[in-house]
Structure 1
Amino acid sequence: MPVSPVAHAEDLADFVDASPSSYHAAAEVARRLEGAGFESLDETDAWPGTAGKYMVVRDGAVIAWVVPASASTTTPVRVFGAHSDSPGFKLKPQPTTGRLGWLQAGVEVYGGPLLNSWLDRELRLAGRLVLHDGRAVLADSGPLLRLPQLAIHLDREANDGLKLDKQAHTQPVWGLGVPESADLLAEVAASATVDGAPVDPARIRGFDLVTADAARGAVFGKDDAFFAAGRLDDLASVHAGAVALTAAAEGFDGDHIPVLAVFDHEEIGSATRSGAAGPFLEDVLERIGLALGADRGERMRALASSWCVSSDVGHSVHPNYAEKHDPQVRPVLGSGPILKINANQRYATDGAGAAAWSRWCESAGVTSQSFVSNNTVPCGSTIGPITATRLGIRTVDVGIPILSMHSARELAGVSDLADLARVAEAFFRD
């Protein structure tokens, strides 16, 4: 990569700061790619069949691709997949609540967050507001909310086993007063604009708003080894893919079509119109083929020689909980991206995928590690098996090792972040 690992991490901090929700993440990817010459397409328009750099946004998801001048009806694709959402809390209907002189926000648990990690930190409320005329606008309250923990004097057993009720103990405070005289949506609307003016709360007809840690990402530790930030699962992969595609697109004229696919809703199963289990990627790939003049048989031939790299975070060995990891396979921060393997295909990697990943890493000059779960610890999954099942594309699951996965603030290795982007660029170029 043309920048140092620390500079890459600082750029990731900017990216995460600009992406407090999946909708913001998709918009930030689009903004960066537009600056690199990518043309934004609308799904309701006809798409060009000419060489160029293109992208399309669907809600909190975005897909971008490069069509080389040599592209034909059977040109395969190289898909680098990631997801834009992260665990946390989502605002409920009638969100302005409170009691005993406190204003609170009615929220619902989204995905599988480490609940205790959200305590005692300033939180943003961000996402989209949908107005009376159907327009959607982005909103970001900035630091507004907090989940205050009960003092140790009132819970003497807190250090022996903290237990949080998902309803009673996770409703953040955001002000003082009575709910009847306050409007949380009005606070959020003040951060959004439409036609150059702040959004009128009376015009809001729908919303998708989530919490996000308000603190900026930071490089720290001996020799600047560590990077901590919220939503590294999976904005670290989204950022790496966007950086790689931007670099690979310059003068690209390969024998395949590089594709960056950023999906929403991975943390809750991906079964939405903008999730990996939905039709978004299939729709886009079909339209690319149709624009090139391909018939169904030619599109199937193209997919048969295509690849997908599904990139998501994995577990680094934890020095305080070594027994939770495989006794032999123990990836650690700072030793390279990981190849994720599972016998039951919770990850899509097989022998052919492992060999291909090894070639891309070698091409990028990057050392890779393997990850496999301890047999007694259930294995999570990714968009990899979903994409392979939907499209039949050969798929390999990879990522970076982190600690504190699903915490409000996760921990990664600075060098791993840059190395992932380097391998992603090699995958796109190859």
Structure 2
Amino acid sequence: MTKKQDYQKLEKKLIGEKKSCWELWDEKIKKEAFDFAEKYKIFLDKAKTERESVLEGVKMAKEKGFKDIGAVKSLKAGDKVFAINKNKALMMAVIGKKSMKEGFRMLMSHIDSPHLDLKISPLYEEESLAFFKTHYYGGIKKYQWPTITLALHGVVCLDDGKEINFVIGEKDTDPIFMITDLLPHLDRGVLTPKREVLGEDLNLLLGSIPVNDKKIKEKVKLAVLEYLFNNYGIKQGDFASAEIQAVPSNKARDLGFDRSMVSAYGHDDRICSFVAIEAFLNTKVSNQTQICAWVDREEIGSDGQTGAISLFFEKFISNLLELGGEKSNMSEIINIFDKSKAISTDVTVAVDPDYKEVHDLRNAHRMGYGIAMEKYTGSGGKYSTSEASAEYVAELRGIMKRNKNIVCQFSAGLGKVDQGGGGTIAKFMANRGIDIVDMGIPLFNMHAPLEIASKADLYSAYLFYKEFYLG
């Protein structure tokens, strides 16, 4: 053997190989990845809001024998329960063979995505046209939302206790809605780098036919209200007790000649939510209790009743303890957190060849190179950072070795150190004393109306999440 061949072996041993999943996997695993993506696309088209995601998650759980935690009297190893928080967050657990006091293993993701909420008093008429005023939710580039087709997904709670749910714009036979834009011929001096699309410009065009009554001042507005009342029983005042979102009406679609990617609204973070629940529902009972948590409001800081900061999490753990016949108090729960392991299953950024300059290419994630681990998030000098310990990362690396088809890429942060940054729910679990790290799927177009993900990364995440649950 020549010295050159020795060095080639040494390079493989000490540095390893950076290859995409498509280069490493055999045809059987590739087919599994494509089949798995088909299930994901179906889920994504059904779950475009937090409430819809919870409904789908509960349906999936019930099909596997899960019961509402409020309907059980006691818990033993192998029992499966779920708890719904305000219809917009979901906790699920499979009771382990050991006591809850030995800690749990958890995948936590968020099911909210950037969208447009209708304002409290949204409906108005101007220039004989009817519009809805909106308030954007999450970090969006506002210029991306005009001229795309939008659907309305909503719940309206009436003062008599009745609840009205509706979706308009998803079926091919439905009308769609749109935010208008200014033609390039006239935008000089109006839409400039200093005056781009503003939040108050994001108004949905609804209709243009007036009611036939000369005495009515706002004829088109009344025509829209007449339609809403006749079809859904909604009056103008009912918008005050409504949650109505405008979201892209696009379906999840394969992208590329090879169909290796998926274009869709809501990858962030329903892609990880779906993978997490699939891994959770298809993993054997282990020694430690397994938890799958879907939370809300991550895109706006995780505050509120349904966010990761909420005490609903502690309440769920307390219920598991008590139903298992064990003592529950804050001291016990804190001790359990200290023995628990978790993954924040959130998306991250993939290197876009057209925007390489924002990345440290030696510490960046690539599309199709597997699940992405981010040891820490935050910005600048590691501000607002949750950083996993070296010991915990080493433990997870050991888990990966159990399945040769798990492909992982390691990095930290979003982009170059002083370029920007971002955070996840990991820090809120870390604050509780839980070992946690971010491991998710790299995307193109994050926070845009349509995002792009690789089917390879989707399936690699699934394979790892299943192994993680087994400990």
Tell whether the structures are fold-level matches, with TM greater than 0.5: yes
Matched AA of 1:242: I
Q: Which residue of 1 aligns with 2:214?
A: none
Change over 3 Å in CA distance of 1:299–1:347 after alignment to 2: closer
Distance 1:75 1:313 in 2: 29
- Asked if 1 retains the 8 angstrom alpha-carbon contact of 2:132 and 2:203, the reply is yes
Q: Does 1:13 align with 2:48?
A: no
Q: Which residue of 2 aligns with 1:400?
A: 441
Matches within 5 A, 1:41-190: 41-42=69-70, 47-51=73-77, 52-58=79-85, 59-68=87-96, 70-134=97-161, 136-143=163-170, 144-155=176-187, 161=193, 163-177=195-209, 178-183=219-224, 187=228, 190=231
**Structure 1: which 4+ aligned runs deviate by more than 6 Å?**
157-160
> Identity of aligned pairs, percent?
22
Query: Partner of 1:201: helix, strand, or coil?
Result: coil
Query: Partner of 1:270: helix, strand, or coil?
Result: coil
Number of residue equivalences? 415
Comparing 169-178 with 297-306, greater Cα deviation is found at 297-306
- Asked if 2 retains the 8 angstrom alpha-carbon contact of 1:6 and 1:219, the reply is no
Change over 3 Å in CA distance of 1:333–1:157 after alignment to 2: farther
Matched AA of 1:401: P
Residues 397-428 of structure 1, C-alpha deviations (whole Å, 9 max, x = no match): 11111111100100111110111112111111
Matched AA of 1:319: P
Distance 2:242 2:230 in 1: 10
Over aligned residue pairs, what C-alpha RMSD do you find?
2.6
- Asked if 2 retains the 8 angstrom alpha-carbon contact of 1:384 and 1:397, the reply is yes
Deviation at 1:289, TM superposition (A): 1.2
Residues 309-347 of structure 1, C-alpha deviations (whole Å, 9 max, x = no match): 001111111111111001411211100111113344624
Residues 256-288 of structure 1, C-alpha deviations (whole Å, 9 max, x = no match): 111110000111111111100111211101110
- Asked if 1 retains the 8 angstrom alpha-carbon contact of 2:373 and 2:408, the reply is yes
Distance 2:252 2:46 in 1: 11
Deviation at 1:383, TM superposition (A): 0.5
> Which structure 2 residue ranges, 5 or more long, are not aligned?
1-28, 171-175, 210-218, 377-381
Q: Which residue of 2 aligns with 1:193?
A: none
Change over 3 Å in CA distance of 1:114–1:428 after alignment to 2: same
Query: Partner of 1:57: helix, strand, or coil?
Result: strand
Q: Does 1:350 align with 2:395?
A: no
Distance 1:323 1:180 in 2: 48
Q: Does 1:275 align with 2:315?
A: no
Query: Partner of 1:140: helix, strand, or coil?
Result: strand
Matched AA of 1:370: F
Deviation at 1:294, TM superposition (A): 2.2
Q: Which residue of 1 aligns with 2:32?
A: 4
Distance 1:185 1:230 in 2: 31
Query: Partner of 1:276: helix, strand, or coil?
Result: coil
Change over 3 Å in CA distance of 1:245–1:425 after alignment to 2: same
Matches within 5 A, 1:362-373: 362-364=401-403, 365-372=405-412, 373=415
Distance 2:368 2:60 in 1: 27
Deviation at 1:166, TM superposition (A): 2.4
Query: Partner of 1:85: helix, strand, or coil?
Result: coil
TM-score by length of structure 2 reads: 0.82
TM-score by length of structure 1 reads: 0.89
Change over 3 Å in CA distance of 1:328–1:184 after alignment to 2: farther
Q: Which residue of 2 aligns with 1:328?
A: 362
Matches within 5 A, 1:187-198: 187=228, 190=231
Matches within 5 A, 1:376-395: 376-389=418-431, 391-395=432-436
Deviation at 1:245, TM superposition (A): 1.1
Q: Which residue of 2 aligns with 1:213?
A: 248
Deviation at 1:158, TM superposition (A): 9.2
Comparing 21-30 with 9-18, greater Cα deviation is found at 9-18
Deviation at 1:169, TM superposition (A): 2.0
Q: Which has the larger radius of gyration?
A: 2
Distance 1:73 1:229 in 2: 38
Deviation at 1:10, TM superposition (A): 2.0
> Which structure 1 residue ranges, 5 or more long, are not aligned?
191-198
